[in-house]
Amino acid sequence: MREAGADNARQRLDKWLWFARVVKTRSLAAKLVTDGHVRVNSVKVETPSKAVRQGDVITISLDRAVRVLKVVQGGTRRGPYEEAKGLFEELTDPEPAVQAGEVRPPGEGRPTKQDRRAIDRLKNG
């Protein structure tokens, strides 16, 4: 029979990603791994059954961001967000949020309507 702490010693990567609420379903977690978007300790993982342990660093390439997570413990269930936050330590630098009404520095982002009209005038003469 297994010991109570044995489940938390090692855990499947896809299961851990699901428990930590990185993805919505376990099948999406498995697909993320098999598509090559996950690294464990800087090594690309190809199978969702890869075991992760406490102290492993997981790098996940998502649609709009790259997240770096350190495994603090294995999960026992997919609980609420507060419980899931205890499974990992976020190593990714938080991006500063753009506040409403905040003006971007010149030259960053998409051109404004005024900029586009000036570009059109230059192109068309």
pTM of the predicted structure, to 2 decimals? 0.70
The contacts found for 81-85 with CB under 8 angstroms, 24 or more apart, are 81/21, 84/19, 84/20, 84/21
Q: What is residue 7's DSSP assignment? A: H
Q: What is the pLDDT of residues 6-63, one digit of tens each?
A: 444 799 999 999 999 999 999 999 999 999 999 999 999 999 999 999 999 999 998 8
CB contact at 8 A, 48 and 37: no
1 — pLDDT class (breaks 50, 70, 90): very low
Class of domain 6-93: alpha beta
Distant-in-sequence, close-in-space partners of 90: CB < 8 Å, separation ≥ 6: 67, 68, 69
- Contact yes or no for 34/70 (Cβ under 8 A): no
